[in-house]
Chain A
Amino acid sequence: MSEQVFWVFARRAQTDPFEQVGAVKAASAALAYVYARMNYRERNWRDMRVVPRDAFYEPAPGSR
């Protein structure tokens, strides 16, 4: 299984926006989520999400 980078987002209250708290490298989104839960415990996050870095879309230069 090849690994990819996932960005980690979290929020402390349901009404808060998600903020990026870091990144993890993992072989799957589920494993990335566990790593995120265990690696970013400096605050008592209410919700946490991970998203593949590659999913962050930006048009290629020259195509805008």
Chain B
Amino acid sequence: MNMAPVGAENLSAQAQQAIRDLLLALIESKHFIGFQYASWCVCGPSVEADIALANMAQEEVGHAMVLSGLLGDDSERGVLNKDTLVTWNTWPAQSAESGSPKMIESWPEMIVTCLAREAAVSAALEALRLSSYARLAQRATKMIQEEQFHLMFGIETARTFGTMPREARLGLAADYQRALGEAEARLAAVEHLSRLSSLGVLGPEAGGVRAEYLHGVTQRLDAAWG
């Protein structure tokens, strides 16, 4: 359903609050993924993987900053200011204080965890492309274009785990499902998108678009693992 594009000034206070709530959840996920990629960009399995991780970490930080720009004011940014986002060496200190995020020290576990977080975020962004809030729809569209390579990185790296013993692969598949459940719970995309639909910022099909996207990622991962 095509919705007439509107600016932030045309959104109700309730709609603006609902968007802020979802943006903060998306930013937290971007922050988590960026931290994991940045933590691994000097210790991945190859120099090619390291460079890819460094680039993806920068993109995740960039996405978090772009999304925080849509918050409207600085009242809720708090720890998400630019210095925090771009200065990797402040993150461990923050991690110690807040308890999260922490570097995932197993390469396969980091890959499937970040893949699950990427899938959850991308699925929400896919739905947000349909938003009547024009700036949000534009930014979601741009991010999805970059995210497709992040997902491809995760899935194709996961494919290399296909040579692991069956038990180990089953364990990773279970890790992915657990991580996806956690990612969904942290993002609360179902609730946020439903709220935005009821407020007229998204059409009723948004939830279905999100679910279909997630299903597609799971199918690609299943195919990669055989």
Instruction: Spell out A's residues near B (CB within 8 Å).
Output: 1, 3, 24-28, 30-31, 33-35, 37-39, 41
With A1-B162, A1-B163 as contacts: A34 and B51 at CB distance below 8 Å: no
Pick the 7 closest A-B CB pairs, nearest first: A38-B52, A31-B156, A35-B48, A38-B55, A30-B156, A34-B153, A27-B160
Whether the pair B149, A37 counts as a contact (CB closer than 8 A) is yes
- CA–CA, A46 to B55, complex, Å? 18
Whether the pair A34, B152 counts as a contact (CB closer than 8 A) is yes
Interface residue SS majority, chain B: helix
**B87 to chain A: which residues have CB within 8 Å?**
none
A-B contact pairs, 10 of them (CB 8 A): A27-B159, A28-B160, A31-B157, A31-B160, A34-B149, A35-B51, A35-B52, A39-B52, A39-B55, A41-B55
Interface string of B38-61 (1 = CB under 8 A from A): 000000001011011001100000
- CA–CA, A3 to B52, complex, Å? 17
- Which of A24, A28, A39, A41 is within 8 Å of B156, CB to CB? A28
Whether the pair B157, A38 counts as a contact (CB closer than 8 A) is no
With A31-B156, A31-B159 as contacts: A25 and B48 at CB distance below 8 Å: yes
User: Residue on B with the closest CB to A37?
Assistant: B149
Instruction: Spell out B's residues near A (CB within 8 Å).
Output: 46, 48-49, 51-52, 55-56, 149, 152-153, 156-157, 159-160, 162-163
- CA–CA, A17 to B157, complex, Å? 30
Shortest Cβ gap from B111 to chain A (Å): 12
User: Residue on B with the closest CB to A31?
Assistant: B156
Shortest Cβ gap from A25 to chain B (Å): 6
**A26 to chain B: which residues have CB within 8 Å?**
46, 48
Shortest Cβ gap from B32 to chain A (Å): 20
User: Residue on B with the closest CB to A39?
Assistant: B51
Whether the pair A38, B156 counts as a contact (CB closer than 8 A) is no
Whether the pair B149, A1 counts as a contact (CB closer than 8 A) is no
User: Residue on B with the closest CB to A26?
Assistant: B48
Whether the pair B56, A38 counts as a contact (CB closer than 8 A) is yes
- CA–CA, A24 to B45, complex, Å? 13
**B56 to chain A: which residues have CB within 8 Å?**
38
User: Residue on A with the closest CB to B54?
Assistant: A38
- Known contacts A27-B160, A34-B149, A34-B152; 12 additional CB pairs below 8 A are A1-B159, A1-B160, A1-B162, A26-B46, A26-B48, A28-B159, A30-B156, A31-B156, A38-B52, A38-B55, A39-B51, A39-B52
